[in-house]
Amino acid sequence: MRGIAVENESTSGIDPERLARLLAVGAENAGPETSDLPDQAMAGLLRARLAGPLPLDGAVVDSLPAILGRPCQELMVLAGRTLGEVLLDPKADPDVIEAIKDYGKALGTRWPEGPEHAVAITIYYGGIAAAMVFHDHKITAHSYEKLGTAFGKLIEKPWMLPEVARLLSKAQDVCRRRMK
């Protein structure tokens, strides 16, 4: 995918999941603030998470009842695609986008603070943004005002990936129009 895949030159050939685990271990003692982790490392952590597949573990499977009721052929669309590819795809199935949002929420619960939490929140709000931008559908009870503020805060993070920032910016524009 354009700009989401982890480049081997910058990661010494470490696969994205292992890189995410290494960054998380290194960040455990960094405290709750993401500012304790260098921006480049935060961007790498987000890039690594987005470069991985949408995991179909128990927590995610529980959040996919609508998708799991479909024929297996429809699920094959996800095969070989990364979480980032699906998140940034205007043609992604709305149910899959909602599952990505739920996945981000579950990750945020697993890591209630620190760099992994920031990545989880980015995935959560990225799913909400994708549903708003690509499908004109709000998949949260949060107000447009609160969403616009959250998108704005994430866009300003120096570690935010450009592709994700563009999606969040478009969603922020949707919020502004809806608040008028």
- What is the 3-state secondary structure of the chain? CCCCCCCHHHHCCCCHHHHHHHHHHHHHHHCCCHHHCCHHHHHHHHHHHHHCCCCCCHHHHHCCHHHHCCCHHHHHHHCCCCHHHHHCCCCCCHHHHHHHHHHHHHHHHHCCCCHHHHHHHHHHHHHHHHHHHHHCCCCCCCCHHHHHHHHHHHHCCCCCCHHHHHHHHHHHHHHHHHHC
Give the amino acid at 166.
R
Q: What is the CA radius of gyration of the chain?
A: 16
Task: Enumerate the domain spans of the chain.
Answer: 8-179
- The mean pLDDT value of the chain amounts to 77
Exposed, middle or buried by CB within 10 Å (0-12, 13-18, 19+), for 172?
buried
pLDDT-derived band at 79, boundaries 50, 70, 90: low
At 96-124, the pLDDT tens digits run 999 999 999 999 999 889 999 999 999 99
CA 173 – CA 6 distance, rounded (Å): 29
0.85 exceeded by the pTM? Answer: no
Burial 45-83 (b: 16+ CB within 10 A, else e): bbbbbbbbebeeeeeeeebbeebeeeeeeeeeebeebbb
49: number of CA atoms within 13 Å, CB side?
27
pLDDT in tens, 26-61: 333 333 345 557 999 999 999 999 999 876 544 444
Average pLDDT over residues 150-176: 97
- The pLDDT of residue 167: 98
